[in-house]
Each structure stands twice: as C-alpha cells, then as structure tokens.
Amino acid sequence: MKAIQFHEAGGPEVLRYDEVPVPEIGPGEVLVRVHAAGINPPDWYLREGMKVMPAEMRPALEFPLIPGTDMSGVVEAVAPDVLGFAVGDEVFGMLRFPGFDGRTYAEYVAAPASDLAHKPAGIDHVQAAGAPMAVLTAWQYLVDLGHDVPSPFTGQVHQPVPITPEMTVLVNGAAGGVGHFAVQLAKWKGAHVIAVASSRHEQFLRKLGADEFIDYTTTRAADVVSGVDLVIDTVGGPDSSRFLTVLKRGGTMLPVFFAQYDPEETARLDIAVSNIQVRSNGPQLAEIGRLFDEGKLQVGVDSTYPLSEAVSAHTRAAQGHIQGKIVLTVAS
C-alpha cells in the first residue's frame, strides 16, 4: 500500500510517499481502508521532532514514522473479539491519541475498535476525517471529559463547566479546527457566543452560530468585551493573558494551546484556568455523530490534497489562518 512516511525530522519536505506493507490487525482491532485523513497540529509537531516540547521531555522517535491520527474509511477486516463493527461499515475516529501510532496517512490502517464510531450518514468521508481530534478536543473541554486522567500540563483533572443559556462564551481562534467546533457546541448548549478571528472568517463563523464577531486585527477583545463567563483560547502563546480581563469574577479560562498564566493574577481576578490532553474516545464520537446527522454540527474544510501531496498540505498548514480543517484524500 501507499503511505506517507518521514525518515528524519524536519520541514514538510521530509514527507515521502512510500510503498509499505498493509498492517496486520491484532486483538480489539479492525482494518480500515482509509478514504480520507485529517491533518492536525500534532502531525507537524511529530514531523518536526516534537520541538514544541522541552528538550528533556521529548520522546525518542524511531524512524520511519507514518503520521496521522484522524481518518474516515471502510472496514475491511475485523478481529474475532471485536463487536459492533462489520466488514463494509463506514467508520471514523482519532486513533491511539495521545501517542504517535495512529498512522492514518496511509491507504490502510489497523485501528482500535474502541477509538472508532460509525461515520454519520449526513457527512462524507472528507468531512468525517476532519472532525475527530478537533471536535473531541472541544467536546472534552466543554461538554464531557470522558476520562479521569490528570492533564500533563497541570496535574489536575479537568472538570467541564456546564454551559447554560444565560452564559456568554468567547472563542479565540474561532475559525480553526477546535475553534469552529467550540463555537457550535457552545451555541448548541444555548450560550451567547463571541467569536474572535480575522475578518475573512466572519461570515463563516456567523453561519455556524456566532452571535458577535471581533476582528482581532483591528480590535482588542479586552477593549469591547467584559463579563464573559468562559473563554476557550485555541491560540495560546505568550499573550494569552490579555483575555483574562474579558472574564467576569469567577469566570473560567480554557487554554487549548500552550499558555502560561500568573497564578497570583488569576487568584486576584478569581479566574479558574483548566486544560486537557485530548484522548481517543469512540463512544464520544458516536454521540457527537448524532449531532452531525441532526445538522447541529458542521465540519469546515479549508482545503483537500491527495495523499501523495502531503508535502503541499503541510506547507498550507504552516501558512496558518486555516478555516476549519485540511484533509488528505486517500480512496475514492
């Protein structure tokens, strides 16, 4: 079969379109013919050698590596102990995350059945492949964590804040993968949603349910917003603390990307800060799938590339300002 591999860490150019063996399945697994694979930040972190992590925390990588966690496809074979899936089923999932063994940039993948759900009939394979990591991240932050594993960043177990109709939720980086799902899930729960992104994304986000829109290139959210109950910040970075002042006392800050907050400042403002490490969860995807079928969730697709053009897809990802998700098409 064909797959994307890299034999050394580096830029997009290290990705190679190679011939590799079809994987064998073990207990609890199904073999899936991949129709589409979603691209996520951990894919390029891995390709770069996990430079986003402190040197002392970086895992030892064994090359070659096939990247990818998200996929949608059709079941080709099922291990004898697997229940609930059969040959011919359309499935989608985020495989073996956190970890580096998803290997979805390929024509076939051995997938843990526990990481899979039946693909919603209302979306195609490209849309389904774009959903898992981003929508599970938003879901586990905002709706249901689904596990009791402490965050590796804080050592604490995240407790999602129940979103109710009287609440106001601000989403920073609202047009990206996690952001555009966070907008929709907060709206589904009845919140008043403020989306922060660049102006080119305004119509996209308003169609997804954003009640207010702030163009961060012209307006600082802190200058025009206050009294927010919850901020989900998908951008992070050294300037994340600028969003603390938009929160009311007793509000909650949910940083998705790496961000540091002064504990004295958050204590003074009575703001809770919590984060997670998203984890694979097939049953949650099955629940989320019903929202796709009911038309309550949509997948934004920024662009698609054939599997053989993964270099171009990663180059596009490096340019930023993505609207929704980038997806590799594998089988027709």
Chain segment 197-219, per-residue pLDDT in tens: 999 999 999 999 999 999 999 99
Residue 99 Rama label (left phi>0; alpha psi -120 to 50; beta): left
Q: Which of 74-88, 172-186, 232-246 has the lowest mean pLDDT?
A: 232-246
Model pLDDT, residue 275: 92
Model pLDDT, residue 56: 79
Query: What is the residue range of 219's domain?
Result: 150-273
Among 127, 130, 58, residue whose Cα is nearest residue 94? 130
Q: Where a domain ends, among 273, 288, 317?
A: 273
pTM of the predicted structure, to 2 decimals:
0.97
Q: How many domains would you assign to the chain?
A: 2
Do 156 and 122 share a structural domain? no
pLDDT bin (cut points 50, 70, 90) of residue 129 is very high
Q: Where a domain ends, among 229, 252, 273?
A: 273
Do 154 and 81 share a structural domain? no
Give burial (CB, 10 Å; 0-12/13-18/19+) of 309. middle
Do 128 and 41 share a structural domain? yes
95 forms beta bridges with none
Q: At residue 238, does pLDDT exceed 80?
A: no
In whole numbers, what is the pLDDT of the chain averaged over residues?
95
Q: Which of 10-14, 40-44, 48-52 has the lowest mean pLDDT?
A: 48-52
Do 322 and 260 share a structural domain? no
The CATH number covering residue 262 comes to 3.40.50.720
d(CA 21, CA 151): 36
- Per-residue pLDDT averaged across 182-189, rounded? 98
Percent of the chain at pLDDT > 70 equals 100
Q: Which residues contact 55 (CB under 8 A, 6 or more apart)?
A: none
Q: Which residues contact 263 (CB under 8 A, 6 or more apart)?
A: none
